[in-house]
Amino acid sequence: MSDVRARAQRARLASGLLGRASLERRNEALRRAAAGLREARPALLAANAEDLTRARALLDAGELDASAYQRLKLDAPKVEEMARGLEALASLPDPLGRVDLHRLLDEGLVLERLTVPLGVLAVIFESRPDAAVQIGALAIKSGNAALLKGGAEATGSVGVLVGLLRAALAASGLPEDTLQLLHGRAEVDTVLGLDQDVDLVIPRGSSSLVRSIQARTRIPVLGHAEGICHLYLDAAADPAMAVALVRDGKLQYPSACNAVETVLVHRDRAADLLPALVADLRPRGVELRGCPRCLALDPSLAAATDADWDTEYGAPVLALKVVDDLDGALAHIRRHGSGHTEGIVTGDPEAAARFLAEVDAAGVYHNASTRFADGYRYGFGAEVGISTSRIHARGPVGLEGLVTVKYLLRGHGQCVADYTGPQARSFRHEDL
Amino acid sequence: MSDVRARAQRARLASGLLGRASLERRNEALRRAAAGLREARPALLAANAEDLTRARALLDAGELDASAYQRLKLDAPKVEEMARGLEALASLPDPLGRVDLHRLLDEGLVLERLTVPLGVLAVIFESRPDAAVQIGALAIKSGNAALLKGGAEATGSVGVLVGLLRAALAASGLPEDTLQLLHGRAEVDTVLGLDQDVDLVIPRGSSSLVRSIQARTRIPVLGHAEGICHLYLDAAADPAMAVALVRDGKLQYPSACNAVETVLVHRDRAADLLPALVADLRPRGVELRGCPRCLALDPSLAAATDADWDTEYGAPVLALKVVDDLDGALAHIRRHGSGHTEGIVTGDPEAAARFLAEVDAAGVYHNASTRFADGYRYGFGAEVGISTSRIHARGPVGLEGLVTVKYLLRGHGQCVADYTGPQARSFRHEDL
């Protein structure tokens, strides 16, 4: 306990140094890490092969699922992709020191608000070893320290990757304590209790990981437990567009958080859109589950249960429901949506305007695939995660989710007493 | 429990309606409330007199402190001040619907990010009944609903005030459910557990109130438990300025969170600055507590104990400590500061620059009183509170602390599949 806390406190000191280091130096560390990664590729792939051997045994014993095993695997193209990701991050503008308020409070009394690092992050991720590089690099760029805990099955790969990042920091004259590995669940539990020493927890993994972390800490958690996204096919939906957007939302990457789980269909369009959806999706292997009104139209559908409306399938399964109208769609989304991304397909501008205004979610879309909800697609250059919280950051979060602000006030001896009482001076409040 | 939750859910619906209401209508409600307050002054003062009678008995029985009794008291000027506050808020720009990102992702695919209400606030305040009006009005302006719980001793006054605000909402065609009173501790405890239904908790009161709330909820809390602010008198401090800034920081309003609690003095200046401080502050009734090096210079000082460095006096008491140099001051502040507001007095630009860069606090000041840390003095027009958290909002928080963002994406059927693979379209990412 006290050891982990001491490490978190060293991380804070490291963040202070890193946050005051020049952009050039932070970028140098990222570029050195990219070069180091390419050089160390054989050692990295060897460590990864050992992880895979151990994971294979777990897989065979039924203690690891096949997708986690797949995500664990690194190869030469993935290493190159990681190296390029580091270089791309180095070319992004500095998230630190941005002045977003510069105000003359009174003659010679100048207020400035600028971005500074949050401080200390705790990052808990599952089997993908590249998450260590991605989030470690985001931390370096934004002047934050990070305590990193990867999945047990990726220990060897993550150890090599974090070692490379630390070596790049040291070679650039920056503190190695910026990135520290946590070992074992007990250390994670300790960190989750350090609400004075850790500023933000970033879980990267399944919704059950996120929920379990949210339940165990008072530290703010950036992310989302669930992405239950809806696409509402309105009375005025173009049929070809409706089918294409459902197909993209469901099948382009079914395990993504921004994939569509439930399609709501206006009752006046059920008779033409349901058959079109079935004809398009069933041959592509999508399992379709319908509400009673859907089943009345197409008895070949499986019957959806109440649980379906609250399930993130993460798989080629789609729930279908007929609603009376836009209000019915809004009510369903209010009750079952997770505040992630919701879409309407319609040619009716009024229906679109109401949907965009009334749906309360991080992203609300008109005639576009929910799969666009992503930091890269939004043009942020880097993605910390997607937040369904309303506090601090909402939606896809770029580097600006890893900074806070600090107010600087420069004067020449001004006292508040001079601005109070009958002879009070007035503030000027002029933006500079 | 279920009743309180149902009320929180009605509050969310109310926030939805309020957040989509025009600025004119929200401002109309604020102006009607101001008028209603002036009209209802006799009834309000009568209710307040009854509260005061009950509070007097508690005061006499030693169950209420004198300052809480004082804060409870309303009179005609205070009512006028509240009414003017409502009108001033009505004249502020709209915090909602501000577009801070407008980007062409690709031809015909336009992303927009705009401010929307957080949703549901829980506001817990102590004896000042005017807090109900202030925070209720901020909620109306920003499209948020608020569950309000005042101190038990202010029940009558707060009931009248919230009734006036609700009547003004209804008369303006806005939902009364926007503002709802909570009764009793059990309802507060229930609300603090509703992390799915309440977005932000705002405690207004003592640091023990804030700490107790932080300890009991996973909902984000906006505020600060403590304001332990330091003023460091550097080797190059102007002596008259140093004394004036200490006097203002300590005495202009000693119970404020931005008042100075500890003065750090560079060792080379202890011999001249300590006597000057003692000569200025002691006749003004300030109790001075010094470190051993201070006592060696002036044995008439009381001896500070370790606890003094971590105490927010909220009273005319000041701790004095001699430090070796700027590094010593930075180390003391790192260990004992609460991240609120810290100041340096110096004529040395390098020392000032280091202090401003290295101190990690919401406000860092050079040659200015820490008492300037305030939303009105910063020109925000309204203050929600002062946050020492790094997440969501830091420092004095204006209306922008009560909003979040929502991304709207408008297309004409674009799919993500078109932007992946070998034939992928490229994003344009042009800001509009």
What ipTM did this prediction achieve?
0.93
Q: Please check whether residue A308 is in contact with residue A289, taking contact to mean a CB–CB distance below 8 angstroms.
A: yes
Find, in chain A, the residue whose alpha carbon is nearest to that of B369.
A415
Q: Chain B contacts of A345, Cβ < 8 Å? A: 413
Please determine, for residue A2, whether its predicted confidence score (pLDDT) is greater than 80: no
B 336-375 near A (Cβ less than 8 A): 352, 356-358, 360-369, 371-373
Segment A53-68 shows an average pLDDT of: 89
Distance of CA A388 to the CA centre of its chain: 9
Q: Is A395 on the interface with B (CB under 8 A)?
A: yes
Rounded Cα distance between B389 and B338, Å, is 10
Give me A79's structure tokens.
Answer: 């290493």
Q: Please check whether residue A411 is in contact with residue A421, taking contact to mean a CB–CB distance below 8 angstroms.
A: no
Residue burial A142-179, b: 16+ Cβ < 10 Å; e: rest:
bbbbbbbbbbbbbbbbbbbbbbbbbbbbeebebbebbb
Q: Quick one: pLDDT band at residue B40, thresholds 50, 70, 90?
A: very high
User: What sign does the dihedral A163-A168-A172-A175 (CA atoms) show?
Assistant: negative
Mutate to test the interface with A, among B253, B340, B345, B372 (most CBs of A within 10 A): B372
Query: What local confidence, expressed as pLDDT, does residue A202 receive?
Result: 94
Give me A190's structure tokens.
Answer: 């300790």
Q: Which helix (H) or strand (E) holds B401?
A: none
The torsion region of residue B335 among left (phi > 0), alpha (psi -120 to 50) and beta comes to alpha
- The CATH fold assigned to B2-222+384-406 is Aldehyde Dehydrogenase; Chain A, domain 1 (3.40.605)
User: What sign does the dihedral B59-B64-B67-B73 (CA atoms) show?
Assistant: negative
Over residues A198-250, the pLDDT tens digits come to 999 999 888 888 889 988 998 999 988 788 999 999 999 999 999 999 999 99
Contacts of A310 (CB under 8 A, 6+ apart): A228, A336
Nearest-by-Cβ selection for A244 from B103, B220, B413: B413
CA dihedral A22, A23, A29, A35 (to 10 degrees): -140
Contact A414 B371 (CB under 8 A): no
Segment A309-327 shows an average pLDDT of: 96
B 17-46 near A (Cβ less than 8 A): 20
Contact A368 B410 (CB under 8 A): yes
Distances (CA, A) of A411 to A182, A207, B369: 44, 50, 9
B 251-270 near A (Cβ less than 8 A): 252-253
Segment B306-310 shows an average pLDDT of: 97
Strand pairing report for A200-204 and A120-125: parallel
Q: Is A388 on the interface with B (CB under 8 A)?
A: no
Q: Quick one: pLDDT band at residue B66, thresholds 50, 70, 90?
A: confident
Nearest-by-Cβ selection for A411 from B116, B238, B366: B366
CATH superfamily of B229-372: Aldehyde Dehydrogenase; Chain A, domain 2 (3.40.309.10)
Calculate the average pLDDT of chain B: 95
Query: What local confidence, expressed as pLDDT, does residue A344 receive?
Result: 98
Segment B364-384 shows an average pLDDT of: 94
Please determine, for residue A38, whether its predicted confidence score (pLDDT) is greater than 70: yes
For the ranges A29-33, A383-387, B225-229, the one whose mean pLDDT is highest: A29-33
Rounded Cα distance between A220 and B218, Å, is 9
Distances (CA, A) of A385 to A380, B126, B392: 11, 38, 16
Domain boundaries, chain A: 2-221+384-406, 229-372
A 74-103 near B (Cβ less than 8 A): 103
Q: Chain B contacts of A405, Cβ < 8 Å? A: 394-395
Query: What local confidence, expressed as pLDDT, does residue A264 receive?
Result: 98
Segment B39-61 shows an average pLDDT of: 95
Question: Running DSSP on this structure, what letter comes out for residue B94?
Answer: P
Segment A96-107 shows an average pLDDT of: 97
Q: Please check whether residue A333 is in contact with residue A310, taking contact to mean a CB–CB distance below 8 angstroms.
A: no
Residue of B299, B234, B287 whose CA lies nearest to B261: B287
Segment B239-257 shows an average pLDDT of: 96
Contact A412 B367 (CB under 8 A): yes
Distance to chain A for B376, nearest Cα, Å: 10
Contact B368 A410 (CB under 8 A): yes
Question: Running DSSP on this structure, what letter comes out for residue B392?
Answer: S
Helix (H, G, I), strand (E, B) or coil at B170: helix
Residue of A255, A220, A14, A54 whose CA lies nearest to A136: A14
In terms of DSSP H, where are the helices of B172-251? 184-192, 207-216, 239-251
pTM for this prediction: 0.93
Query: What local confidence, expressed as pLDDT, does residue B81 receive?
Result: 93
Residue of A257, A237, A264, A238 whose CA lies nearest to A333: A264
Contact A415 B358 (CB under 8 A): no
The matching CATH number, chosen from 1.10.390.10, 3.40.605.10, 3.40.50.300, 3.40.50.11810, for A2-221+384-406 is: 3.40.605.10
Q: Is A379 on the interface with B (CB under 8 A)?
A: yes
Over residues A369-426, the pLDDT tens digits come to 999 999 999 999 888 889 998 998 999 999 999 999 999 999 999 999 999 988 899 9
Q: Chain A contacts of B417, Cβ < 8 Å? A: 248, 252
Q: Chain A contacts of B395, Cβ < 8 Å? A: 113, 405-407
Query: What local confidence, expressed as pLDDT, does residue B207 receive?
Result: 83
Contact B220 A218 (CB under 8 A): no
**DSSP secondary structure letters along B269-331:** GHHHHHHHHHHHHGGGT-EEEE-HHHHHH-TTSEEPPGGGGG----SSEEEEEEESSHHHHHH
Query: What local confidence, expressed as pLDDT, does residue B2 receive?
Result: 66
Residue of A220, A191, A218, A219 whose CA lies nearest to A5: A191
Distance of CA A404 to the CA centre of its chain: 17
Contact A241 B391 (CB under 8 A): no
Nearest-by-Cβ selection for A369 from B373, B391, B415: B415
Mutate to test the interface with A, among B406, B420, B427, B429 (most CBs of A within 10 A): B406
Please determine, for residue A127, whether its predicted confidence score (pLDDT) is greater than 80: no
Calculate the average pLDDT of chain A: 95
Find, in chain B, the residue whose alpha carbon is nearest to that of A363.
B407
Please determine, for residue A1, whether its predicted confidence score (pLDDT) is greater than 60: no
